[in-house]
Amino acid sequence: MRHIRARLLLSLLTVLVAAIGCNSDSDSSKQPPPPPIAQRDLVRHLVALQRIATENGGERAAGTPGFTASVDYVTGVLRRAGWRVRVQQVPMAGWRERSPATMTVAGTTLKPIRDFRVPSYAAAGQVDAPLRAADDGCQPSDFDRLQPGEVAFTGFGTCFLWRKTVNARRAGASALIAQTSSSKRGVASATLAVPRLGLPVVLMSRDVPARDGDRVQLNVNAQTRRASTQNVIAEIGPTDGRVVMAGAHLDSVPNGPGIDDNGSGVATLLEVARTFGPRPPGRVRLAFLGAEEEGLIGSRRYVRELSQAQRREIAAYLNLDMVGSPNAVPAVYSDGDPRLGRLLRRLHPGPERGVLVGNRSDSSAFEGKDIPINGLYTGANEPGPGGKPRDPCYHLPCDTFANVSMGSLLPMARAAARALYLLARDQAK
């Protein structure tokens, strides 16, 4: 009789354990959705990033103390939220201006940032020579009129600035000046993306009067050296199987705090981390990527170091770069994965436009690697409502906390969090 009772008790315990297992909180497909992201929490992160920039010379650019402090802040928030955190070291060529550049055109002294800007990776040099107008500079033949030692004068755009630089140097130019649009606040920062091209380069506002033959005096005091940056990679949930991923670049441009670009994306992901922990909807990975502003260096290194099997594990990658612009036009990447695009449009209230991102942000490092990508964006210096720039402080020192629109950021952040939840939950089923 005791044996019969023991067998009955064992059977009952087995049934109870099975029932508990079926309703366990570890079943991620049955997890309730996380609470919606709150504005005050986004503000807290933005204020912290602004404080870091203010305490470190007004910038958080890759390879600077401001970026190191940003890495420390992000890793601290993630670990307190219960995420597994890894800091990946990424070698890079570090470029810095040793002193502000000086420039005169036809005897008129120009003001740095307001009138002209030296792009990252421009070579040092002193020049005193006439301007020589070229076509768009994308072909070697565009510089046929150039005499050795003259300053090549062209426009910005059409092709990569590094290509114009190479063509100008091979034609014998002593420097390259590319005219570009500017806002009332100045010329936006840019990068050649390719170091050690051996030519001083300047972006000059179209508002500066300059003609073919004008005398230019230019002094660029810059240095390129070996350096490193970091990617912060955080994960929660199972340690194997398909993973849903989102990323945002952590660095600012030189001489700018970068609070919309891209503190807005960073703050969003930090709040995703807080609201998802400690019981996530599935396997989720967040990437805070370094040196995006220098040429997508961090994201390219991250993807390059993944094995083919690790790339196949990534079910989706969502990119968040500039999602709090003050004169916003909310948009989804039209050149991204259509299924992800439909999901993002459904989750963000109001009409969504499409934007061609190309290779302008970290998502391009994942594209073409059999990883579905898409993302959210509110605008840089493109025309927005009223014909004004969507972010008039794009790549400028005025990209501070005051530049961010919470009315733009909050719905974008909530849409991103909801999309990640649904994607992770579907993978966990």
- Shared domain for 70 and 161, answered yes or no, is no
**Together in a domain, 362 and 397:** yes
**What CATH number is attached to the domain comprising 340?**
3.40.630.10
Residues 208 and 67 in one domain: no
User: If 0-12 CB within 10 Å is exposed, 13-18 middle and 19+ buried, where does residue 188 land?
Assistant: buried
In a shared domain, residues 374 and 408: yes
If asked whether residues 263 and 371 sit together in one domain, one would say yes
Cβ atoms of residues 57 and 64 within 8 Å: yes
Are 389 and 299 in the same domain? yes
Number of structural domains in the chain: 2
Residue 6 lies in a domain: no
Query: Of 156, 178, 213, which closes a domain?
Result: 213
Q: Is 292 a catalytic residue?
A: yes
Residue 16 lies in a domain: no
Q: Does residue 102 belong to any structural domain of this protein?
A: no
Predicted pLDDT at 17 = 35
Same domain membership, residue 289 and residue 156:
no
Q: Residue 124's domain spans which residues?
A: 107-213
Contacts (Cβ under 8 Å, ≥6 apart) of 80? none
CATH number at residue 133: 3.50.30.30
Contacts of range 75-83, beta carbons closer than 8 Å, 24 or more positions apart? 75/232, 77/45, 77/270, 77/273, 77/274, 78/232, 78/234, 78/270, 78/273, 78/286, 81/273, 81/274, 81/276, 81/277, 81/278, 82/236, 82/277, 82/278, 83/234, 83/235, 83/236, 83/273, 83/277, 83/286
- Answer yes or no: do 206 and 291 share one domain: no
Domain boundary among 184, 213, 242: 213
- Residue pLDDT tens, the chain, 429 long: 444 444 443 443 343 333 333 333 344 445 678 889 999 999 999 999 999 999 999 999 999 999 999 999 999 999 999 999 999 999 999 999 999 999 999 999 999 999 999 999 999 999 999 999 999 999 999 999 999 999 999 999 889 999 999 999 999 999 999 999 998 899 999 999 999 999 999 999 999 999 999 999 999 999 999 999 999 999 999 999 999 999 999 999 999 999 999 999 999 999 999 999 888 999 999 999 999 999 999 999 999 999 999 999 999 999 999 999 999 999 999 999 999 999 999 999 777 889 988 888 999 999 989 899 999 999 999 999 999 999 999 999 999 999 999 999 999 999 999 999 999 999 988
Q: Are residues 382 and 235 in the same domain?
A: yes
- Within-domain flag for 412: yes
Report if residue 98 sits inside a domain.
no
158 and 298 part of one domain: no
* Same-domain status, 393 and 347: yes
125 in the same domain as 74: no
Choice among 292, 293, 294, 352 that is catalytic: 292
Is 7 part of any domain?
A: no
Burial of residue 38 (number of CB atoms within 10 Å: 0-12, 13-18, 19+): middle
The end-to-end CA distance of the chain, in Å, is 44
Q: Looking at residue 64, what DSSP letter applies?
A: S
220 domain-assigned: no
Task: Break the chain down into helix, strand, coil percent, rounded to 5.
Answer: 35, 25, 40
CB-CB neighbours of 136 under 10 Å: 14
| 181 belongs to a structural domain | yes
Give yes or no for a contact between 277 and 77, defined as CB atoms under 8 angstroms apart: no
Domain-ending residue, one of 169, 190, 213: 213
